[in-house]
Amino acid sequence: MELAVINHKGEDTGRKISLSDDVFAIEPNDHAIYLDVKQYLANQRQGTHKSKERNEIAGSTKKIKKQKGTGGARAGSIKSPLFRGGGRVFGPRPRDYSFKLNKKVKQLARKSALSYKVKDNSLLVLEDLSFDSPKTKSFLAVLNGLSLTDKKTILVLPEENKNVYLSSRNLPKSKVVTVNDVNTYQLLNADQLVICEGSVSKLETILSK
């Protein structure tokens, strides 16, 4: 499969790049995508939630009323979960939500996400991008040229480029990542995937191991 390479103004450069069918044209595996996205979202959770249970509440342990003769239910402690300010029954405790996922499953999920992008015509191959200095205006000019100003986009760079990253940081709908950092959730969450020309071969190498 071949795609045209476009420049920063959205114009066809006349060059074409060949995309590997083993990465960009597989039969998508929805379950692998589900597992990879689930792991990504689980890893984002801090797991620091905590509520005080009965033994952690500060308060008197004195019996608050006599056992019998009041006409109400018996009560032994002001810390009881039945009372306002008492401890919580089976409340949340700090925990780790992360879980292990095999590398092969993660690779399959990313290849499936890339294949979906190709099927939906949501993938562009852009000639390599570089800025002399970090300027949001420069990055916006590229988005305008590609007609992607109002879309959620993810730009995949072949290697870390601080100027490009800093230029995009203030734009809430744009995200810049390197080939090594791209993940399934980001691919599916974006309306448009833009891959730099130099990123294609590196991405195919990583996902073909």
Nearest CA to 65 among 85, 53, 83, 52?
Answer: 83
How far apart CA 83 and CA 135 sit, in angstroms, is: 58
Q: Where does CATH 3.40.1370.10 sit in the chain?
A: 2-45+98-207
Radius of gyration (C-alpha) of the chain in whole angstroms: 27
Question: What are the pLDDT digits (tens) for 49-79?
Answer: 999 999 999 988 889 889 999 999 998 899 9
Residue 208's pLDDT band, with cuts at 50, 70 and 90, is confident
What amino acid occupies position 136?
T
Runs of H (alpha helix) within the chain: 21-24, 30-44, 103-119, 136-145, 162-168, 184-189, 197-207
**pLDDT reported for residue 13:** 85
**pLDDT reported for residue 156:** 93
What amino acid occupies position 14?
G
Question: What are the pLDDT digits (tens) for 86-97?
Answer: 999 999 999 999
Residue 130's pLDDT band, with cuts at 50, 70 and 90, is confident
How far apart CA 172 and CA 50 sit, in angstroms, is: 31
Domain 2-45+98-207 indexed as CATH 3.60.40.10: no
Question: What are the pLDDT digits (tens) for 144-197?
Answer: 999 988 899 999 999 998 999 999 999 999 999 999 999 999 999 999 999 998
72-79 LR contacts (CB < 8 Å, sep 24+): 79/54, 79/55
Give pTM, 2 decimals.
Answer: 0.83
